[in-house]
Chain A
């Protein structure tokens, strides 16, 4: 048994090394294909040996940023996590991350497991890993061609959670009705996080909203305030289901455009008042989620605060990259709500922006780009100096912008990512920030161009 595990781990290590040396990418998942063939119980066996168990994080938006934030905070508290850092979040990615941080004898070289998990992979991950806590951040419409429906993910999770031992801590977003309702059946209840500052919300429902009807009785929700997408202060006039009280709550939020935000979090251990360098309301939710999870690990408030304050960004999700005397602000976009929040964040002042929007429709990006019509690009009217559209669906993006009243002479369609970056730089002025908004594989392409030109390191080295 031990010999089989060792053989599997060895083979996994070899495959990873070979993959990298042959230049075939970051080698972040190859081990995950090789190891289970030799020892299918490897993931289960190794994670059972973690001194502090495992933490599992899933959701549509914010998985990678939140997991990295948790990892960063844990490090402040001298807890080392084995973490699928590069964001490979299917089972193959989880196995590969474990292999990378386990001795050949099968012993983890970390105190705790920390796994970002793709929404559809949650059931399999829960079966193999048995975490001490599961964080579910939100469910938004994302990659319709993969899941088909928002309710599909909610139902999948609901079934998977039913089989969890009662002592598994559920950490749930109170403001997302699709997620919050998952806590109801859990014997030990759940820890809820949410935003309690109504001043940054709005009374108008956004049109890009996925879940306005009560999952319990089918009546439309009434919202006292909307935060983003279908997140907010909701109550069902039919059955009384309402946003639960939050254990960890942001009682005050002040957003400062793309520079960050000032927040106050109320927790059972006291209050944190701090400045986050991560911009946007969506990152306030990520910070709340990370705070709640780290509290379950027994970390003191001061440690959590130090971690929140010193965390800068997550590769590919949000990065500031210096190119000569321009700054590229790169923010991943995946779905209407997320994109809307990114736009809101980057348009905080009146200056006209230089923007690169890179839309691919490869499998990892989602092959159905209809969602672009649910993004509020109309916000950009009057704020755009140049927008370069690149990617496999660049033409669709250009059409979308035309219908959002962006003048045609400010829209450029360019098929080559390197040329797109060069064009945006040419048309900008020294000291200007250029906003790069790519879908996932387009982000990898843009980053690869920047890496070749020496502006960033490879993502697996991050």
Chain B
């Protein structure tokens, strides 16, 4: 019986982790461990380099404006190229809020400073006039087209706009999403995902956590690999609690309820 191993590069774990995004790491590690898969988490911080072929998954979380400005030059000079290369090669990436913004073409700060991003997603982010804060429900098409939902909590004044080549992660059923205007949330490119969902994202969305793990496993070990199902009763209960509360609040667009 093969013992599977995966490596995850956690970008700026000390500086870009103000919104509980560490929960994504915990979720991935446990869901792997419960299946006998070892997930090795490597911190990649200021001054560190990322070797493109070395990692199966990457996580880039959200942070405060000040920290985002501090890491941006380091990210661009030390990591961005390697991250883009890894994504082209099919590595899995999850980015949230600030991390997501820095993976677009540009991110403009509240002071008007335009910071370059890695250009993984065809998006640009600019300051908005209102802050989107609240529980958010997003409809996402699964691999076979089945509509599923992602739930989380957004907290951002930055607005992200998709370019012609960009694919959104999903459609907003409740909340603001990328910019509160076009009804899109997040972005997808190959196995890279960007979004504004904190919560943390993965604990209450076990199907999505498993998608990330499976893609990483299949890339490393071949398309025959499958994931043993887990008992997700508690997670689904928490997921459904958010969805049903959102429904009760009204003001939702119709979708996959």
Contact = CB atoms under 8 A, between A and B. Distances in A.
Interface of A: 141, 144-145, 148-151, 205, 207, 209-210, 212-213, 218, 220, 367-374, 395-396, 398-400, 402-403, 405, 408, 411, 413
Contacts of A399: 203-204, 234-235, 238
A148 B131 contact: yes
Contact of A395 (B18, B27, B231, B234): B234
Interface string B58-75: 000000111100100000
28 contacts: A144-B155, A149-B66, A150-B64, A151-B65, A207-B17, A210-B18, A213-B70, A220-B46, A367-B135, A367-B153, A370-B19, A370-B23, A370-B153, A372-B23, A373-B200, A374-B17, A374-B20, A395-B234, A395-B241, A396-B204, A398-B234, A398-B237, A399-B203, A399-B204, A399-B234, A403-B27, A403-B30, A408-B231
B238 A396 contact: yes
User: Chain B: interface residue count, which band?
Assistant: 35 or more
Given A151-B64, A368-B133, A373-B22, A413 B237 contact: yes
A374 B14 CA distance: 12
Nearest to A220: B46
Interface string B191-216: 00000001110011000000000000
Nearest to A378: B26
A370 B17 contact: no
Given A148-B64, A395-B241, A413-B237, 10 more contacts: A207-B14, A367-B153, A368-B133, A370-B198, A395-B234, A395-B237, A395-B238, A396-B241, A400-B23, A408-B231
Contacts of B133: 145, 367-368
User: Shortest 7 CB-CB distances between A and B: which pairs?
Assistant: A373-B23, A370-B20, A395-B238, A373-B20, A149-B64, A370-B198, A395-B241
A396 to B, nearest CB: 5
B53 interface: no
B15 interface: yes
Contacts of B15: 212-213
Nearest to A336: B20
A241 to B, nearest CB: 16
A266 B66 CA distance: 37
B134 interface: yes
Nearest to B66: A151
Interface in B126-185: 131, 133-135, 153, 155
Nearest to A395: B238
Contact of A374 (B22, B66, B131, B204): B22
Q: Main SS of the interface on chain B?
A: mixed
A144 to B, nearest CB: 6
Nearest to A151: B66
Nearest to B135: A367
B54 to A, nearest CB: 23
Contacts of A149: 18, 64-66
B153 A373 contact: no
A156 B203 CA distance: 34
Nearest to A397: B238
Identify which of B20, B153, B200, B235 gathers the most chain A CB atoms within 10 Å of its CB. Answer: B20
A442 to B, nearest CB: 16
A398 B20 contact: no
Nearest to B23: A373
Contacts of A368: 19, 133, 153, 155, 198
A370 B200 contact: yes
A162 to B, nearest CB: 20
Identify which of A212, A370, A405 gathers the most chain B CB atoms within 10 Å of its CB. Answer: A370
B134 A367 contact: yes
Contacts of B17: 207, 374
Interface string B20-39: 11110011001000000000
